[in-house]
Structures are given as C-alpha cells and as structure tokens.
Amino acid sequence: MDTIELPEPDPDGQLSVERAIATRASRRTFASDPVTLEDVSQLLWAAQGITHVRSGVRMRAAPSAGATYPLETVLEVAPDGCEALEASLYRYEQATHRLEQIHAEPCHDELTAAALGQDVVRDAPATIALAANVDRTRRQYPAHADRYVHMEAGHVAENVHLVCESRELNTCPVGAFSDDEVRDVLELSDDLEPLYLLPFGNRPPTQSGRD
Ligand SMILES: Cc1cc2nc3c(=O)[nH]c(=O)nc-3n(C[C@H](O)[C@H](O)[C@H](O)COP(=O)(O)O)c2cc1C
C-alpha cells in the first residue's frame, strides 16, 4: 500500500471568503475529468490540516471542543477520479499531510450503495468521509460530547464547501447513508462513527446556476 506526499497547501485562494459564501450551493453534478492532487491536498488541508502549533499541540483548520480532535478523515477515489491516485481508499494523516492507502481495490460502487445509491456519490470522482471517535471528546466533556462532535463535523464540511467554491469545484454534503454499510466500506475501526460524506469534483463547463 502506498504513502502519498500531498502538495503543499496554498493558504491564499483566488476568491474572498465573502464571495465564496455568497456563491456557495450544494451542487450535485460533476464534469467527467479527474480532480487534481492539488485539489485533493487543498480540500484535505481545509478539512483537518495542521495550521499552527499551540502549547505543543498541532492545531487543525477547523475548531474542536477543547482541541480534543475526534475526527478522522478518509478519502475515497473513484476509478479515474484523480490523475495521481489509484481508485481506492486513503487515510489522511494531517500531521504529515500525507495519504496512507488503506485498501487495495476500488470501492466506489460499495460507497454509492451505502449512500442509498445517491447519484451525487456515484458521479463524484472523489469523496471525503468524516468519522468520529466520540470518546476522545467525551473524556473531557461527558455531557456534551455528541453535540460537540457533530458541530465539529459541520465546521469541517463548511471549510471543504467554501474551498470547493474557491476552486470552482462542486460538492454537496451527504448525511443520508447507512451507518453500518459506510463503516464497513471505509473499514472504520469499532471506535469510529461515520458522520458525513463530502463528494466533490470538477464543475461542468456549462454550469452557470446553482443546480
Ligand atoms: C446535515 C446535512 C445532510 C445533508 N444530506 C444530504 C444528502 O444526503 N443528499 C443530498 O443530496 N443533499 C444533502 N444535503 C444538502 C442539502 O439538501 C442542502 O444543503 C439544502 O438543500 C440547502 O441547499 P444549499 O446547500 O444549496 O444551500 C445535506 C445537508 C446537510 C446540512
């Protein structure tokens, strides 16, 4: 299984945050061409990349209750979905900004089925999946951990969505899926709970509106 060094993330996008907010929409169709490794790098960095170190702790791109960082990030690549990656599953290692391949075969059809057959997952060249180890947050916040972890997934999804907008990529957050099937397909350990799928891909050249 491969380890892939991702390109250095670029913290200076081409669009203002305000413009990205103004034009953002859930877009469920994609051009047929593959996404680039730069796109993958930029989106994974926006999701959970390390932005700075505070008191010896690697702080990530999205806020986390008590910096407990319960989220794990998995990338699924469809056949011919990314010019530089095999169709497969990868774990994002934010500390090194690398991908660790965790599966040898494509699993795109299985992920689509687990997402209730939704076209947006089937047609996407790649999907970022978020899963949580809620116990990491529960140890510090016994009464509110579930709430905090779900809030955190929302922060991450919005970061990804806005960077997609900045790069003229399409995405749509997907929360409708079979937990058990997604857990199986993504080979999540028992302590991880799947939370969100973020399929993405290039914007069709003819798309002008927000469909
Ligand atoms: C928690 C959550 C789960 C969602 N799940 C799905 C989904 O499974 N499939 C889908 O097509 N859209 C899904 N969406 C996208 C919503 O349908 C979309 O955000 C809503 O229609 C508002 O449109 P907008 O995002 O373009 O503003 C989800 C959005 C959220 C916030």
Q: Which residues of 111-127 are buried (b: 16+ CB within 10 A; e: fewer)?
A: bbbbbeebebbebbbbb
Work out which ligand 1 atom sits closest to the CA atom of 177.
8
- Give mean pLDDT, residues 50-58: 96
Q: Which two tokens stand for residue 109?
A: 């059809």
- Do the beta carbons of residue 61 and residue 52 sit within 8 Å? no
Q: Is 175 in the pocket of ligand 1 (CB under 6 A)?
A: yes
Q: What is the pLDDT of residue 33?
A: 97
Query: Which run of H or of E encompasses 59?
Result: strand 57-60
pLDDT at residue 114 greater than cutoff 70 = yes
Ligand 1 near 23 CB (within 6 A): no
Distance (angstroms) between ligand 1 centre and the Cα of 175 equals: 8
Cβ atoms 71, 131 nearer than 8 A = yes
Q: For 163-171, what is the mean pLDDT?
A: 98
What tens digit of pLDDT does each residue of 130-160 get? 999 999 999 999 999 999 999 999 999 999 9
Is residue 25 within 6 Å of ligand 1 at its C-beta?
A: yes
Cβ atoms of 35 and 169 within 8 Å: the answer is yes
Rounded mean pLDDT of the chain?
Answer: 96
- List the domain boundaries for the chain: 3-202
Distance of CA 26 from the midpoint of ligand 1 (Å): 7
What's the pLDDT score for residue 209? 60
Q: Is the CB of 118 under 6 A from ligand 1?
A: yes
Q: How far is the CA of 156 from the centre of ligand 1 (A)?
A: 15
Query: Does the Cβ of 173 fall within 6 Å of ligand 1?
Result: yes
pLDDT at 208 over 80: no
Strand order across the 3-5 sheet: 3-5, 98-101, 88-93, 71-77, 126-132, 193-202, 169-171
CATH superfamily entry for domain 3-202: NADH Oxidase (3.40.109.10)
Give the C-alpha distances (Å, rounded to integers) separating 73 from 18, 23, 149.
Answer: 26, 26, 14
Q: Report pTM.
A: 0.97
**C-beta of 171 in contact with ligand 1 (< 6 A):** no
127 Cβ inside 6 Å of ligand 1: no
Exposed, middle or buried by CB within 10 Å (0-12, 13-18, 19+), for 161?
buried
